[in-house]
Amino acid sequence: MINVTKSYLPDLDEYVEHLKGIWDRVYLTNNGPLSLRLEQELRDYLGVKHLWFCSNGTIVLQMAIKALGITKEVITTPFSYCATTHTIIWEQCTPVFADIRPEDYTIDPTQIERQITENTEAIMATHVYGNPCQIEAIQRIADKHHLKVIYDGAHAFGATYQGKSVLSYGDISTCSFHATKVFHTVEGGLITCQTDEMANQLSLYRSFGHRNDDYIDIGINAKNSEVHAAMGLCNLPKVPDLIAAREERFGWYDSLLDWSRLSKPTRMGDLEYNYAYYPVVFRSEAQMLGVRDALNAVGVYPRRYFYPSLNTLPFVQKLSGRSLQPCPVSEDIALRVLCLPLYPDLAQADAERISRVINENL
Ligand SMILES: *Cc1c(COP(=O)(O)O)cnc(C)c1O
């Protein structure tokens, strides 16, 4: 069976070495030495000053909304994983959808401007498939209208834009270290921000809002454990090789698929890409489903990322007290897109077989 992704696992002996240290110290969580070391290595690798290792890529979005004091409308993308929208609603804010760009499926700045009201407080955008949003245009809009910018960078680990980590932009950026992502700690995530003050606030939120006997604010538990940090310490040094292996497999699909009958999103200039996903867009949903069935029949399981377009979810409309906010581009792409299997040890013969099945069913 070939799935859309396959988690990278480090050498077991290397992981066990870390576990032995954990067993010796009997120190399992709450900013233990492995978590602190991973955070420092992540700061060095990403080149960001303020960064916290957290328990997943969803709670960090909730922390971002809370820490920026957002309580009203958040302009967001309908083309993302459901967590992006859910966290906005979970934090009692209202998601207002701005449609995406047809070229690369990131949120469209001109559509953002159209959705601004006196209640707009923030923009929450996703770097789709690791390709950055229109960062400069979004920042200009945010500055003009005094809005905060949160980037869901769950796909963007290891990607750099204009020589800086894609995770270093906006007021707050987040990432997911879930087992399916380019870099993972089994479960995990990170949050980055721009100021000492915000970093301090986020660290408080991560640990119940108190430091020892000083109870300072409300908080939540978003810490991660030594066992997860150990996985991160094993995997982080491998990231450049993992990305290189992904790039090679990306090239195989690029050359094998029949582009006269398929399309794919463009990528930003001045980007060092992380090759996180391999999306392919078909001519119609029926064609995509036909290809998916043909792949499933030979044991290949691509995924519909992203589907459905989040603005169309009935419970999202109900909970935010709004009728459907149409986003025709996102709704259209969501019906036709499929992400193909892509992971560092995908065999060339499998990429060839997958490409053949796709081309034969177009
Ligand atoms: C994976 C993902 C998340 C959620 O991350 P978890 O670590 O699984 O909580 C959020 N947003 C996007 C875009 C994702 O792909």
Reported as a single tens digit per residue, the pLDDT across 205-255 is: 999 999 999 999 999 999 999 999 999 999 999 999 999 999 999 999 999
Our answer on whether the CB atom of 56 is closer than 6 Å to any ligand 1 atom is: yes
172-176 vs 189-193, strand pairing mode: antiparallel
Our answer on whether the CB atom of 84 is closer than 6 Å to any ligand 1 atom is: yes
Our answer on whether the CB atom of 228 is closer than 6 Å to any ligand 1 atom is: no
Q: State both tokens at 262.
A: 């398929």
C-alpha distances out from residue 125 to 3, 96, 112, Å: 27, 12, 10
Q: What is the pLDDT of residue 298?
A: 98
Q: State both tokens at 355.
A: 């490409």
In this prediction the pTM is 0.98
- Count CA atoms within 13 Å of residue 51 on its CB side: 25
CA of 192 to the centre of ligand 1 (A): 15
Our answer on whether the CB atom of 355 is closer than 6 Å to any ligand 1 atom is: no
Q: State both tokens at 184.
A: 């993972």
Dihedral through CA 155, CA 322, CA 65, CA 32, nearest 10? Answer: -60
Measured distance CA(319)–CA(325) in Å, rounded: 14
Instruction: Write the pLDDT tens digit of every residue in 10-53.
Output: 999 999 999 999 999 999 999 999 999 999 999 999 999 999 99
User: Coil, strand or helix: which one is 214?
Assistant: strand
Domains observed in the chain: 2-235 (3.40.640.10), 238-360 (3.90.1150.10)
Q: What is the pLDDT of residue 28?
A: 98
Neighbours of 169 (CB within 10 A): 25
